[in-house]
Structure 1
Amino acid sequence: MIEYPSAPDTPRSHLPFSPATKVGELIFVSGQASVDATGKIVSDSFEGEMRRSIENLRKVLEDAGSDLAHVVRTCNYVRDDADLALYNRIYPEYFQAPFPARTTITNCLGAALRYEIDCIAVAKNSKA
């Protein structure tokens, strides 16, 4: 069975996709960016946008029955490769060793965003 978990205050986009899709114990979270609860982009420094994006990811995961500790893979989009050192300093504040599998793509976002993250996680009650 496929589920689309969310709560009224789940950050969501005006674009045609669900914040998360759950299949069994797996949770697939769509790209989370620096947006408010209405989906409006909140421009900030790279650090501010990265932190807001990961906090949005945390909220979507909680609404789906998981958390950052149950993330098995992240895909990260960093607009400017000059921000990679800061990205690598902030990332371990949210994801601890042993770290999830990770992909990082640079020079890939338009001018409106500095950072975006998506992930695959397992439900907290998973036996996986």
Structure 2
Amino acid sequence: MSHITVSYPKDKNTPVSHLPFSPAVRAGDLIFVSGQASVDASGNLMPGSFESEFRRSVENLQKVLKSAGSDLGHVIQTRNYVRDPADLPEFNRLYREYFFAPHPARTTITHCLPETLHFEIECIAVPA
């Protein structure tokens, strides 16, 4: 049985959080990225429209993936949290701008975020 190396990649561009979790955990050839929301470099929430929060969240996801040696093209699964189901058409439109066919496996959950957030995304990826 082989030993799987576990690491916690992070660099100066990785968004910080004031909560107790690692932005990413790499276990062998799998990279698990914690939920990324619309926060600035200091971890402060940056509320806005659904679109602005979606874009900032995915940009944060890209930063975490880069620190772990991956990118959006190597994402194999996403989990998406959308507060208001009315935003699902816009979510699908924006999602297609960042994730291309064949698309990653995906789960989308609604009615699950506090009033302060419109969107959050997490993923599993492989190295680039």
Instruction: Classify the TM-score, shorter chain.
Output: over 0.9
Q: Is the 8 A contact 1:76 1:118 kept in 2?
A: yes
For 1:74 and 1:90, how far apart are their aligned partners in 2? 14
Unaligned runs of 5+ in 1: none
AA in 1 matched with 2:28: G
The percentage of counterpart residues that share the same residue type is: 64
For 2:96 and 2:43, how far apart are their aligned partners in 1? 26
2:34 matched residue in structure 1? 30
Q: What is the aligned-residue RMSD (CA, Å)? A: 0.5
Q: Following TM superposition, by how much is the alpha carbon of 1:9 offset from its aligned partner in structure 2, in angstroms?
A: 2.4
2:69 matched residue in structure 1? 65
For 1:38 and 1:113, how far apart are their aligned partners in 2? 17
2:91 matched residue in structure 1? 87
For 1:29 and 1:9, how far apart are their aligned partners in 2? 15
Q: Following TM superposition, by how much is the alpha carbon of 1:25 offset from its aligned partner in structure 2, in angstroms?
A: 1.0
1:1-128 matches, within 5 Å, as 1-124=5-128
SS at match of 1:123: coil
List per-residue Cα deviations over 1:22-66 (Å, max 9, x = no partner).
Answer: 011110000000000111000010000000000000000000000
For 1:9 and 1:59, how far apart are their aligned partners in 2? 6
Task: Give the TM-score taking structure 2 as reference length.
Answer: 0.96
Task: Give the TM-score taking structure 1 as reference length.
Answer: 0.96
For 2:18 and 2:12, how far apart are their aligned partners in 1? 14
